[in-house]
């Protein structure tokens, strides 16, 4: 598990690239600049780790494109000690970004292989999520609700009602909605039954699948 000067140099290039694409939040850029993304990928893709692209990980899933991770994180407006729920732990890269920004992170993954692998891997690098959960993101995590932020890292065919219900008033749900391509969407909870909806550009994610257990 090495992080060499070469990796660090490539990472600074990546930060420049996503900045040029419009990411402004300095804390998000710092997180991308610090996290050794190459260690979250299978060895066959190490050379690609600092390109601004999604890549395959285990169980036919992907590690999200760094720009997408940055875009979603920027929308969440994380403050230290915010309670954040992530749906789709995957490689744990997005989880690490949230941890390094000081959030208390709960993350759900439905593929057991990825859940197991990432549960072992993240603490080794020093990223300590509050809890990693093997389960179905459609139902969220009622036991720990309400959350300051909820981030969905897979394409959702519709907005799971449970997730809206688990937001604090003032909290934000960032979720890509659609089947073939997804519209990045943010809901801000303004009151118990009052949600403000904002739409951003088109993105492409692996699908948020119904629970297979």
Residues of this chain that bind ligand SAH (CB under 6 A): 61-64, 87-88, 90-91, 93-94, 108-111, 114, 136-138, 153-154, 206, 208-209
Rounded to the nearest whole angstrom, what is the least distance from the CB of residue 4 to ligand SAH in the complex?
Answer: 22
119-146: buried (b, 16+ CB within 10 Å) or exposed (e) per residue? bebbeebebebeebbeebbbebbeeebb
Please say if 107 is a catalytic residue. no
By beta-carbon proximity to ligand SAH, the closer residue of 105 and 167 is 105
By beta-carbon proximity to ligand SAH, the closer residue of 180 and 194 is 180
Q: Which of 64, 91, 107, 119 is catalytic?
A: 64
HSE, CB side, 13 Å, CA atoms: give it for residue 55. 21
Rounded to the nearest whole angstrom, what is the least distance from the CB of residue 101 to ligand SAH in the complex?
Answer: 15
Rounded to the nearest whole angstrom, what is the least distance from the CB of residue 40 to ligand SAH in the complex?
Answer: 7
Place of tokens 């948020």: 208
By beta-carbon proximity to ligand SAH, the closer residue of 155 and 171 is 155
- Strands (E) across the chain are located at 55-56, 62-63, 83-87, 104-109, 131-134, 147-152, 167-177, 182-191, 194-203
Angle at 154 between CA 212 and CA 33, to 5 degrees: 130
The catalytic site residues sit at 64
């Amino acid at each position: 598990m090495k992080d060499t000067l070469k990796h660090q140099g490539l990472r600074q290039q990546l930060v420049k690239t996503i900045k040029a694409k419009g990411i402004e939040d300095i804390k998000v850029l710092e997180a991308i600049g610090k996290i050794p993304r190459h260690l979250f990928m299978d060895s066959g893709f190490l050379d690609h780790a600092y390109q601004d692209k999604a890549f395959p990980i285990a169980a036919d899933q992907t590690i999200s494109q760094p720009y997408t991770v940055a875009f979603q994180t920027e929308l969440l407006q994380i403050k230290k000690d915010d309670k954040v729920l992530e749906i789709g732990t995957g490689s744990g890269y997005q989880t690490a970004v949230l941890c390094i920004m000081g959030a208390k992170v709960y993350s759900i993954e439905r593929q057991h292989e990825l859940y197991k692998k990432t549960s072992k891997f993240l603490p080794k690098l020093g990223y300590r999520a509050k809890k990693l959960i093997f389960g179905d993101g459609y139902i969220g995590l009622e036991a720990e609700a309400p959350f300051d932020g909820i981030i969905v890292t897979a394409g959702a065919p519709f907005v799971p009602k449970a997730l809206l219900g688990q937001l604090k008033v003032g909290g934000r749900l960032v979720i890509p909605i659609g089947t073939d391509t997804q519209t990045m969407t943010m809901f801000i909870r303004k009151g118990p039954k009052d949600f403000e909806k904002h739409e951003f550009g088109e993105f492409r994610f692996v699908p948020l699948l119904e629970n297979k257990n």
